[in-house]
Amino acid sequence: MLEQIKILKSEVEEQVSSINDLVGLENFRLEYLVKKGKIQNLFELMKQAPAQEKPIIGKELNVLRKFAESKYDEFKAQFEDNRKTQPSIDLTLPGRLSNIGSAHPVYQVMDDMLTIFTEMGFAVAEGPDVEDGLHNFDSLNFPPDHPARDMQDTFFVNVNNSNENSENSENFVLRTHTSPVQVRVMKGMKPPIRSVMPGRVYRNEAINARSLAEFHQIEGLYIDKNVSFAELKATMMTFAKKMYGENSKFRFRPSFFPFTEPSAEMDITCFLCGGKGCRVCKYSGWLEIAGCGMVHPNVLRSGGINPEEFSGYAFGFGIERVTLLKTGIDDIRLLYENDTRLLNQF
């Protein structure tokens, strides 16, 4: 019996030396100090020992129990002290970086474009998204039978709940271009006029890799005495070189728009093939980036400006197209899927 106490004593001493946290301490208590623990078990066994040995065994067991209990109390006090003095968070862990949002790539490009134009002396103007037919079509010299007036190309806005008669309601559209803002600017101020007009535009078109039903344009308008096509070309080239770099190559092609005469389109060398020809540029080596021209006399008249006295030029960029060219993204739909894997890159 005394031998058993000796073995248990050395076991307790060994266990005590390996306690290093509250979990270890609790395990120690369950092993030795509870009612069914190893020390109490020996007290039970003592009942079977010869009567004359009982006092010695009892004394030894009590010494062992006191030793275990005092060690338990000692560790408990120590660990609880530590818990009070140590902070409950680990200050040495590296911090978690929070994600900071950024402007959408299309709006970053729009900002870049506006910065270049304002540095060149243009002021920024805006107009309404819901336009009347007068500003969207008539003032811009669209003939009454122009296909853009068709339901196929334009979203018409139903404003029947107003007091106006229903014939009038068909005259409201989601603007198909930012050009109506030109007329609003002309009506609101006297030449010289130097304005750029950014905004969202809407077309009733099928969505595919090259076109969306809702996109952004920047319109430019310059009106003064003796404005020439050469000035238009110089403005476009200066802008394009700042936007795409000094070494980019451009060309102007004759084109047609109802609101300018003469009209042109400006192309840049294809960013994918470098001019050799590929799927994106339809094997021409060139990509269209802007439409432009000299403001049609009828449009000047719509804006209350005398075409005999003043002339001007206008241009329009599709901002999504410019964004694709700048970023090398080859599908316009990716810009609006809001996949964070793409957005995080800007």
Residues that bind Zn ion (CB under 5 A): 270, 272-273, 278, 281
Closest CA to 19 of 73, 75, 81: 75
Q: What is the DSSP letter of 285?
A: S
Q: CB-based contacts of 271: which residues, under 8 Å, 6+ apart?
A: 287, 325, 328
Smallest distance from Zn ion to CB 245, Å: 17
Nearest-5° Cα angle at 132, 127 to 135: 65
Closest CA to 236 of 216, 224, 222, 257: 222
Structure tokens at 49: 């020992």
Minimum CB distance to Zn ion smaller for 116 or for 272: 272
Minimum CB distance to Zn ion smaller for 60 or for 267: 267
Minimum CB distance to Zn ion smaller for 1 or for 272: 272
- Distance, CA of 311 to CA of 332 (rounded, Å): 36
Minimum CB distance to Zn ion smaller for 140 or for 324: 324
Minimum CB distance to Zn ion smaller for 120 or for 278: 278
Largest CA distance in the chain: 135
Minimum CB distance to Zn ion smaller for 59 or for 279: 279
Smallest distance from Zn ion to CB 280, Å: 5
Which residue has tokens 């021409």? 284
Smallest distance from Zn ion to CB 240, Å: 17
Smallest distance from Zn ion to CB 274, Å: 8
Smallest distance from Zn ion to CB 281, Å: 3
Q: Do 289 and 321 contact (CB within 8 A), yes or no?
A: yes
Q: SS3 of 273, please? A: coil
Smallest distance from Zn ion to CB 283, Å: 7
Smallest distance from Zn ion to CB 273, Å: 3
Q: CB-based contacts of 122: which residues, under 8 Å, 6+ apart?
A: 194, 195, 196, 220, 222
In Å, how far are 70, 230, 269, 318 from 252, measured between CA atoms?
A: 95, 12, 12, 16
Nearest residue to Zn ion, using CB? 270
Smallest distance from Zn ion to CB 285, Å: 6
Q: Do 247 and 329 contact (CB within 8 A), yes or no?
A: no
Our measurement of the distance from residue 285's CA atom to the centroid of its chain's CA atoms, rounded to an integer in Å, reads 32
Q: CB-based contacts of 238: which residues, under 8 Å, 6+ apart?
A: 120
Smallest distance from Zn ion to CB 325, Å: 11
How many alpha carbons lie under 13 Å from residue 66 in its C-beta half-sphere? 6
Minimum CB distance to Zn ion smaller for 22 or for 280: 280
Minimum CB distance to Zn ion smaller for 102 or for 284: 284
